[in-house]
């Protein structure tokens, strides 16, 4: 196993439970997800997520293919009305994974475990810099984000 692979696995193992439970909330037996149309492995992939933050924290993401959900029998439904982002054009990328019970959660966990090799960590500094750039470029405005987030990035 290469040093990079070992390092990546250690990063994955150190992901706190709160990082998962705070970001993928269960409401109505649905897990909140964001779809990435074209994976860039850059902070651009998570813009809809980070502008809904309360503070510019480190963000761990896992890229999961639609096929994996299909194979496990977990339905994905587009859900722009649940999207926690102020940019209307990004709301279309919000989806829910329907997990009705313990079995569904187990299937979801299996998908996550199979996808851990597609993990990416964005440090809090990267998140903060991206949000500051978006403010400077007027991609977002102060009124569009939480007061807490604005205070942390300005």
What confidence category does residue 5 fall into, taking pLDDT thresholds of 50, 70 and 90?
A: low
Mean pLDDT for 92-98 is 93
Q: What is the pLDDT of residue 151?
A: 95
Q: What is the pLDDT of residue 113?
A: 83
Q: What is the pLDDT of residue 146?
A: 92
The alpha carbon of 144 is separated from its chain's Cα centroid by a whole number of angstroms, namely 19
Mean pLDDT for 50-54 is 90
What confidence category does residue 64 fall into, taking pLDDT thresholds of 50, 70 and 90?
A: very high
Task: Name the E strands within the chain.
Answer: 26-27, 30-34, 59-62, 76-78, 94-98, 119-122
What confidence category does residue 22 fall into, taking pLDDT thresholds of 50, 70 and 90?
A: low
């Amino acid at each position: 196993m290469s040093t990079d692979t070992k390092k990546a696995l250690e990063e994955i193992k150190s992901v706190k439970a709160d990082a998962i439970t705070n970001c993928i909330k269960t409401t109505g037996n649905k897990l909140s997800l964001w779809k990435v149309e074209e994976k860039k492995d850059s902070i651009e992939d998570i813009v809809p997520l980070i502008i809904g933050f309360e503070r510019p924290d480190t963000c761990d993401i896992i890229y999961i293919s639609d096929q994996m959900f299909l194979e496990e029998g977990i339905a994905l439904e587009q859900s722009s009305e649940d999207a926690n982002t102020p940019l209307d054009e990004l709301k279309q990328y919000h989806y829910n994974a329907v997990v009705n019970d313990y079995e569904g959660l187990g299937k979801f966990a299996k998908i996550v475990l199979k996808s851990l090799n597609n993990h990416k960590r964005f440090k809090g500094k990267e998140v903060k810099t991206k949000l500051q750039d978006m403010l400077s470029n007027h991609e977002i405005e102060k009124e569009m984000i939480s007061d807490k987030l604005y205070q942390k990035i300005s």
